[in-house]
Structure 1
Amino acid sequence: MSKINITTKFIKNLELFIENKSFPSDEVHFTWIGQAGFMFKFKDKLLIIDPYLSDYLSKKYKGKLFPHTRLMEIPISPHKISTVDYTLCSHAHTDHMDPETISILGDNNPKLKFIVPAAEIEESIKRGIKIHQLLKANDGKVLILESGIKITGVAAAHEKLKVNEIGEHHFLGYVLDFDGLKIYHSGDCIPYDGLIAKLKELDIDLALLPINGRDEYRLKNNIEGNFLISEVIDICKSAKIENLIVHHFDMFAYNTVTKEELEDLRVTSSTQLQIIIPEIYIIYKIKKK
């Protein structure tokens, strides 16, 4: 049986979520903001991971084979976010480290710290992050951010593991530990040897995993892939993770899953593995039992 309770409620405006300072201290509240992006509130802190809150890619790839036209509205403008404490980027692909999002967040939030893979420090500066705002993450490295909030880097294989000459990873996932309540965001990832053992040791309460899959056609066109739907289920079961929220769908037509696949996934949810298909403007509340 799951060690946490997850409840939901609708909110019409994410500014209301950001501005709310009255959440109980033993609860984590979070919302999906599209693709791999999530916003978390814990106590009085706001954390964001992999925000893609612009239309940068549709402009960059207009007229190309994969035009990157957004299928989903931008749920909140980065200009309206002025109280974020930490922003995490799992890697340097633009839907995870978007220059038109992170540069605005950095300018509007002078105390903001960005947590990025150590191998991508130079690239993050090129995207608009100021060097004094940066914290380096790496596989196995623990960052204590606040009392009750720490982040652990977990290597990610975006088709493959990628490490620079001094052992710093380019692709990471993160375990967000809120007073012992542990949420694993894999970043963009596929299965690799040792991943399940890492996750078992970390004792994850909730996994946030991408499901847009992979194939040779996309890879040949430089679109690195992610877990298959069957793989995220297998990983959770093998790593004893009892709660799963999927993501990385319904943003780009060439790189998503079908409504039928989502419905099939929804009906496989059980007491052994609760599976949630996230929606924009839904707030998820999690609390230890």
Structure 2
Amino acid sequence: MIVPALHDDAFLADVASARREAGPGRLYVWWLGQSGFLLLHAGEFLLFDPYLSDALTKKYAATDKPHVRMTARVVDPARLDFVAVVTSSHQHTDHFDPDTLRPLFASSPAAKLVLPAATLAAAGERLGAAAVDRLVPLREGERVTLGAFTLEAVPAAHEELAPVYAGFVVSVGAFRIYHSGDTVLFPSMEARLRPWAVDLALLPINGRAPERRVSGNLDGVEAARLAHAIGARVVVPCHYEMFTFNTASPAGCVAECARLGQACAVLRAGERWTLDART
């Protein structure tokens, strides 16, 4: 089992420390495993696609596709009572996990969940009627502002383009962050994203393995090339080291970034990383 850089009390202490020093010129980022990231800017938090339970390990324990965890959980979602904005890029449990969202909602009464409009009905069914007023659906190209964060839904192709899949471009202060959700490359992707001139691209690298019934994502080389093509200041790879059947090494992404002159940061789960505003 991979032990996070920081977890539980130590992780929360680090978040609290960053919150005390947070200013408008800095963005703090923690990788929570899989495609989950915690963002902090000027005292406000956003949580991308958290998976902080063992729901999938339990669900598939007695099947022919066990989801054996590789990385220990960073933090109990019930302790994230400071989070006001959460995203779910699509309905797969490692991106929309009721066992993560219910305790998070219980501890953070004001938290809202931004999700593709096409998944709204399914989300209501999975979370229950009490959570319906927490859901903020977006169609492609629509925007919403929640606190300091403005989120726009952009297309994603989890093997195919469909309205149930989305990425999000988040604007906060001087920063633009692109979280792709699960996606492969598709026509017009670069042209759609390039005008944002994102500071940070959070991209999956686990690739495609149809023989193992693993849905499609970018591989590391593709992630590096996409980040470079859209002019991202920095790319952070994700969607690996969670389940033994569905992982990859970030080495390919790092090597291709080096070849392209693309800045890349590889994080450990639970690690804080800081990005300063452009000068």
Q: TM-score, normalised by structure 1?
A: 0.87
1:192 and 2:186 equivalent?
yes
- After TM superposition, what 4+ stretches of structure 1 lie above 2 angstroms from structure 2? 17-21, 262-272
Unpaired segments of 5 or more residues in structure 1?
A: 1-9, 163-168
Name the residue aligned to 1:143.
Answer: 144
Name the residue aligned to 2:132.
Answer: 131
How many residues align? The count is: 267
Shift of 1:180: 3.1
1:275 and 2:264 equivalent?
yes
- Of Structure 1 and Structure 2, the greater helix share is in 2
Equivalent residues of 1:70, 1:252 under 8 A apart:
yes
Distance 1:81 1:101 in 2: 10
Equivalent residues of 1:18, 1:46 under 8 A apart:
no
Distance 2:126 2:42 in 1: 30
Shift of 1:134: 1.1
Unpaired segments of 5 or more residues in structure 2?
A: none
Distance 2:31 2:49 in 1: 10
* Distance of aligned partners of 1:126 and 1:17 in 2 relative to their CA distance in 1, 3 Å threshold: farther
Name the residue aligned to 1:242.
Answer: 233
* Distance of aligned partners of 1:281 and 1:216 in 2 relative to their CA distance in 1, 3 Å threshold: closer
Amino acid corresponding to residue 23 of structure 2 in structure 1: P
Name the residue aligned to 1:265.
Answer: 253
Structural mapping, 1:1-289, within 5 Å: 13-20=10-17, 21-22=19-20, 23-128=22-127, 130-146=131-147, 148-162=148-162, 169-218=163-212, 221=213, 223-258=214-249, 262-270=250-258, 272-288=261-277, 289=279
Q: What is the alpha-carbon root mean square deviation over aligned residues?
A: 1.7
Amino acid corresponding to residue 251 of structure 1 in structure 2: M
Equivalent residues of 1:102, 1:127 under 8 A apart:
no
Distance 1:35 1:15 in 2: 19
Shift of 1:11: 5.2
Cα deviations by residue, 1:106-156 (Å, 9 ceiling, x for unpaired): 11111111111111111212222611111112211111222x421111110
Shift of 1:27: 1.1
Identity %: 28
Distance 1:67 1:26 in 2: 43
Q: TM-score, normalised by structure 2?
A: 0.90
